[in-house]
Amino acid sequence: MTSLVLPGDSIPLPSSSKSIVLGPGIAASTSRVQSGRSQDAPACIATRLGLLGSAKGKEKSEQYWVEGSSKRYIPAQKDMVLGTIIARHAEGYRVDLGSAQMASLEGLAFEGATKRSKPNLKVGTLVYARVSLANRDMEPEIECFDPNTGKAEGFGELKGGLMVTCSLQLCRKLLNPKFPVLPTLAASIPFEIAVGLNGRVWFKTETVSESIALKRIIEGVDSGHIKAEKEDVEQAVKEYLA
């Protein structure tokens, strides 16, 4: 059940979880709250107005975030993001995520990268990455591999395709398997897709007409002109591919 929270509201964390992942709109607090057990449980506070959301993660972890109407992306650790390389330097790259600060991407933050063998990415290249460090007082750092496996797991350079910009709220919904938009589109159009929590969606199809149809449907759902229901999305696919 979702609940409305205001900036500064205390959000107690369950002590039964093995690990807690704090998402956008929540910051750690130095205070502690009564948990009904022998020890007090740590707490966190909301940093913006919105609905408190939660989801189960891997290995009994729990994720918490505040679903607000913010238009600017604020980097949060473990977020999946789409970034554009805007500069190169000796140790890596500077990447635009659409946030207030540019992100840092090391040349070794790729699968199998070594000092002698590093990817050579050009300015303007689009990458799918994971936020490895997010601090209010430091520029964010991103990486293009899964630290648990050392494999790319889909992260890295995105070649070809088309990127569209949409709301942060829609991107988070698209990552929910129960949200009907992507499963309905996949039933009619074969495509590859990468969804970034920074308000960017990349996809690649076999034809230009299919790419244009996907772009219009995603933008239509985001603006409210197309309802996020299976029947409405199917009708939109027929119209745009006619």
pLDDT, tens digit, for every residue of 216-228? 999 999 999 999 9
Predicted confidence at residue 68, as pLDDT, reads 72
Q: Please enumerate in sequence order all residues whose Cβ is within 8 A of that of 110, keeping only pairs 6 or more positions apart, or say none.
A: 118, 119, 143, 144, 145, 152, 156
Res. 192: pLDDT tops 60? yes
Report the pLDDT averaged over residues 56-66.
72
Q: Is residue 63 a contact partner of residue 55, using CB atoms and an 8 Å limit? A: yes
Alpha helices per DSSP H over the chain: 168-174, 181-186, 208-223, 230-241
**How confident is the model over 112-167, as pLDDT tens digits?**
888 888 889 999 999 999 999 988 788 999 999 998 888 998 999 999 999 999 99
Res. 5: pLDDT tops 90? no
Of 29-33, 45-49, 173-177, 197-201, highest mean pLDDT: 197-201
Grouping H, G, I as helix, E, B as strand and the rest as coil, residue 239 is helix
Strands annotated E in 100-178: 103-110, 126-135, 138-144, 156-158, 162-165
Q: Is residue 230 a contact partner of residue 217, using CB atoms and an 8 Å limit? A: no
Predicted confidence at residue 115, as pLDDT, reads 85
pTM for this model (two decimals): 0.80
What domains can you pick out in the chain, each with its CATH number?
3-67 (2.40.50.100), 80-158 (2.40.50.140), 162-241 (3.30.1370.10)
Q: Is residue 168 a contact partner of residue 195, using CB atoms and an 8 Å limit? A: no
